[in-house]
Amino acid sequence: MDKHAIYRHQGLGGTSGIGRRCGLVLVDFVNGFVDFDQLGGPHIEAAAQATVPLLAAFRRAQLPVAHTRVVFEADGSNHNVFALRVPPLQKLTEDAPGSQIVPALTPVPGEWVIRKQSASAFFETGLAGWLHQRGVDTAVIVGCTTSGCVRASVVDSMQHNFRTVVISDCVGDRALEPHEANLFDMQQKYADVMTRDDFLGRLDASQKGA
């Protein structure tokens, strides 16, 4: 049986839609994750470039924007199991070039930059409260990697009761297979997956400036 038919038969693959106010979460679009010699890949760099017009649209609409960076202490004092399993993460310290947000997506005043040490943008960061405080009911998630920090953030977003949207051409991974498999699975259970242009076409004009 076709996999789509199995999921449909079990009632999966639904939609939560776009609510009254969106917030954009850019997950780990830092230099180290677009550099193939560090932690990145060509799909991630393309996703970062595709995100530029999306970020510009959120700024024009005066909607909340949060960026995340993986940041560990240079002295190793906050290394955790994530850093143990993926040793290159230990090099992503506050001032390391690899931990800096890519220039094309540089935050502007009013956008929150979150420093995290785990996969999810929501885990012990206060992001959920920050979004709720700003009236956000729909978290729009982009970044990298699709199978890692993006997926973890998407699951936590739903668990914090946000409608969740993943922009398919604004997330990237090191290989196409995990990227595509995780987009499929997130669509079935956790999020609405759509292209950037499809999302922008659906973004309710009433949200702008709300």
pLDDT for res 3: 66
CA distances from 11 to 4, 54, 182, 189, 194 (A): 11, 31, 19, 10, 20
Superfamily of domain 18-71+102-204: Isochorismatase-like (3.40.50.850)
Higher pLDDT, 99 or 66: 66
- What's the pTM? 0.89
**Measured on CA atoms in the order 48, 96, 68, 43, is the torsion positive or negative?**
positive
Mean pLDDT across 166-181: 92
Cα-based torsion angle of the residue sequence 87, 89, 90, 91 in order, rounded to the nearest 10 degrees: 110
Amino acid identity, position 106:
T
Pairwise CA distance, residues 117 & 134, whole Å: 24
State the Cα angle at 101 between 99 and 105, rounded to 5°.
170
Confidence grade of residue 46 (pLDDT, cut at 50, 70, 90): very high
Nearest to 52 by CA among 179, 167, 210: 167
pLDDT digit string, tens, across residues 3-39: 666 666 555 556 778 999 999 999 999 998 787 667 6
pLDDT digit string, tens, across residues 175-200: 888 899 999 999 989 999 999 999 99
pLDDT for res 15: 78
What crossing angle do the helices spanning 176-189 and 151-159 adopt, rounded to 10°? 10
Pure H helices in the chain: 3-9, 31-34, 42-60, 81-85, 127-133, 151-159, 176-189, 196-202
Pairwise CA distance, residues 162 & 76, whole Å: 34
Nearest to 170 by CA among 192, 138, 140, 149: 140
pLDDT for res 9: 55
Q: What residue spans define the domains of the chain?
A: 18-71+102-204
Active site members: 149
pLDDT digit string, tens, across residues 122-165: 999 999 999 999 999 999 999 999 988 999 999 999 999 999 99
Q: What are phi and psi of 164, to 5 degrees?
A: -130, 135
3-state secondary structure of 183: helix
pLDDT for res 163: 97
Pairwise CA distance, residues 203 & 19, whole Å: 9
Q: Is the pLDDT of residue 62 over 70?
A: yes
CB 41 within 8 A of CB 174: yes
pLDDT digit string, tens, across residues 79-124: 877 767 877 777 878 888 988 999 999 999 999 999 988 889 999 9
Tokens (6 digits) for 42:
């060509």
Q: Is the pLDDT of residue 209 over 60?
A: no
